[in-house]
Structure 1
Amino acid sequence: MPATRSSSSALRRTIIAAAMATAACVPAWTAARAQEVVLIPNRVIYPGETISAGTLKEVTLVPGKVKPAAVATTLPELDGKVARRTLLPGRYIPVSAVRSAWMLEQGATVQVSFVAGGLTISIAAVTLQPGSPGDVVKVRNIDSGKVLTGTVMEDGSVRVDA
């Protein structure tokens, strides 16, 4: 009988120690979760409208509220971007609901280049669709009328690959 009491009291002490360790971690975890901040619109933002810091407000999540995945949380993720769809006040802003501002507008004249080894061919073309750096756009050669597909570069030109 004494061996049973000893093992049961040891088990009880282990359970109490584990419970205390868990309880000590919960406030730290809750405090970290409570500090999570998201940005939400403070008014309706319509598709095509540029988002600025003045159209957003910072909201601290209540303890226990989990931030959904793929939601914009920082100003650099949203400032200067353009809404793809209507963004309502007080709602999270999904990353997929915003896009970069167009670098090339439809109908603009751009420099198009084709580079292969040491050969570089440059032409002037008109954009048939808007685009941001990295987007694939169609352009029409001003001289021949041919439609080409190329990638918008950081400098605003379009690069055509073979």
Structure 2
Amino acid sequence: MVSNMKYIPHLFFIIIFHYCFAFAHTITEIKEMVEEELEREKFIDHIIVRLNAGSNLKNAKDIELLATEYALNSNKVKLLVTSNGHEYSLEGISTEAIIIPTLTRKVNKGELLNEDMFGEIKYPKDKLSGLIIQDTKEIIGKSAKKTLQPNKPIRPSELMSPTIINKGQKVTLQFNKTALIIETLGVALEAGGLDDIIKFKNIDSGKLVIGRIKNAQVVEVGGQI
């Protein structure tokens, strides 16, 4: 596909000329081709390219990449492409990326997440934060708090532990103080999953308490019971 490569050392520019007229591509496929080139030339594991392709190219299926121009010390990218007999000059930027887990299909609210539902996507490193999950271990076994769409980052706020205590369920309220453990009966005022902190009512005293769910029968409370 690559027939000639021209280096201009004093500008640190690379121009790669392509001759791939036997194949048709979409703008997404062109973008992926350029990302692979940049990853090789810049020795970076993962790169995302964002292009300013106009509406006449976004849905085209006959795009050919003629040339790629970029600087090794810059994130700017220029492309020369042809589609339906017309040449277009495109500009864009490249960003170093990381691979994160994503869903391969829509997941409905309350649905349990398992490893068969996951794929991977590239995500810009400069937009990464603790609000985006990077490891499927943090997801598997959780339930969707709302409907989740595929090919999107997943956030902790969108997940919840599966419900193991239902509203109105009777549980053991366990109060730990040093070596002393006091237990009494309570009723859940909310539903919750493992390690969730929810409200309970002490059946003996009638008082409201906050407790952390230890399992389906026992809740650890931190105040008077």
TM range (shorter): 0.5 to 0.7
Q: Taking structure 1 as the reference length, what is the TM-score of the superposition? A: 0.66
TM-superposed deviation, 1:141: 2.9
TM-superposed deviation, 1:132: 3.3
SS of 1:40's partner is strand
Contact 2:104–2:118 (CA<8 Å) still a contact in 1?
A: yes
SS of 2:175's partner is strand
Larger strand percent: 2
Contact 2:161–2:192 (CA<8 Å) still a contact in 1?
A: no
Indicate which of 43, 50, 65 corresponds to 2:112.
50
Q: Taking structure 2 as the reference length, what is the TM-score of the superposition? A: 0.50
Q: Deviations over 1:101-125 (max 9, x none)?
A: 2342222221112234554331122
SS of 2:108's partner is coil
Q: Deviations over 1:20-46 (max 9, x none)?
A: xxxxxx733x12657832222121112
1:118/1:39 CA distance change after superposition, 3 Å: closer
In the TM superposition, 1:11-26 aligns within 5 A as: none
Larger helix percent: 1
CA RMSD of aligned residues (A): 3.3
User: What corresponds to 2:167 in structure 1?
Assistant: 106
Contact 1:112–1:124 (CA<8 Å) still a contact in 2?
A: yes
User: What corresponds to 2:42 in structure 1?
Assistant: 27
Q: Which runs of 5+ in 1 are unaligned?
A: 1-15, 20-25
Higher RCO structure (Cα 8 Å, ≥6 apart): 1
Q: Which runs of 5+ in 2 are unaligned?
A: 1-8, 13-40, 48-95
User: What corresponds to 1:78 in structure 2?
Assistant: 139
% of aligned pairs identical? 25
User: What corresponds to 2:61 in structure 1?
Assistant: none
User: What corresponds to 1:123 in structure 2?
Assistant: 184
